[in-house]
Amino acid sequence: MKSNYDILGNYIRLVDVRNKEETTDRVVGININKCFMPSVANIIGTDLSNYKLITRGKFACNPMHVGRDEKLPIALYADDKPSLVSPAYFMFEIKEKRFLNEEYLMMWFRRPEFDRVCWLKTDGSVRGGISWDDICRLEVPVLPMEKQLEIVGNYQVITDRIALKQRINDNCPS
C-alpha cells in the first residue's frame, strides 16, 4: 500500500512579519490546548515593534516548552484582526493551499501522537525545545483535497454538537 505521508517542510514556510508599523498592541500566546489566548506577560515598556504580526490563516508555535509540557503549543490564527506573538515563536503558513488545508493540518497538530513525536524530538535544554528543522522533518498524511475537506467538515459537525451539548448541560439545574 502506497503511503500518503510526506514531510511537513514540503508544505509550509516560515513567516516573519514584524510589527514595525505598530499595527496593533494586542499580544497573544498559545495555551496547552492549542488555542490563542491573551498574553499574561507584562509588556509595559516593551518595544512591540519587534513582535511578530500574525494574521488570519497563519500558524504560530512556541518551540521552547515541548519537553516540559510534552505538547507543542501550536495554533492556527482565525481572527480577522491581527495580533502580536512573541519574537521567539515560529510563525508559518502553508505554501500551496491547494495541496494542504490549514484546518486539516491543525486537526493533525491536535492529535496526541503529534505531540508525542514532537516530545521525542526535543533538545537537551531545560525546557526541551524543538527546532524549526525538526518540525519540518515531521511527517503528516497528505490526502487528496476533497478528502481533507470531508474530514474537516465531519470534525466540525462533531465539535459543534459537543459544544451544543455542553451549553445544554450548563443550563440544566444541578
Query: Same domain, yes or no, for 163 and 93?
Result: no
The tally of domains found in the chain comes to: 2
**pLDDT tens digits, residue range 79-124?**
999 999 999 999 999 999 999 999 999 999 999 999 999 998 887 7
**pLDDT tens digits, residue range 24-65?**
999 999 999 999 999 988 888 888 999 999 999 999 999 988
**Interatomic CA distance for residues 137 and 148, integer angstroms:** 21
Please report the pLDDT score of residue 1 as a whole number: 41
Query: Same domain, yes or no, for 136 and 149?
Result: no
Query: Same domain, yes or no, for 133 and 164?
Result: no
Query: Same domain, yes or no, for 87 and 12?
Result: yes
131 has pLDDT over 60: yes
Query: Same domain, yes or no, for 152 and 74?
Result: no
Please report the pLDDT score of residue 2 as a whole number: 56
Domain that holds residue 25: 5-142
8 has pLDDT over 80: yes
Instruction: Output the pTM of the full model.
Output: 0.89
Question: Which residues, in sequence order, are CB contacts of 123 under 8 Å at separation 6+?
Answer: 67, 129, 130, 131
Residue 142 is classified by DSSP as -
Residue 28 pairs with which residues in a beta bridge?
Answer: 38
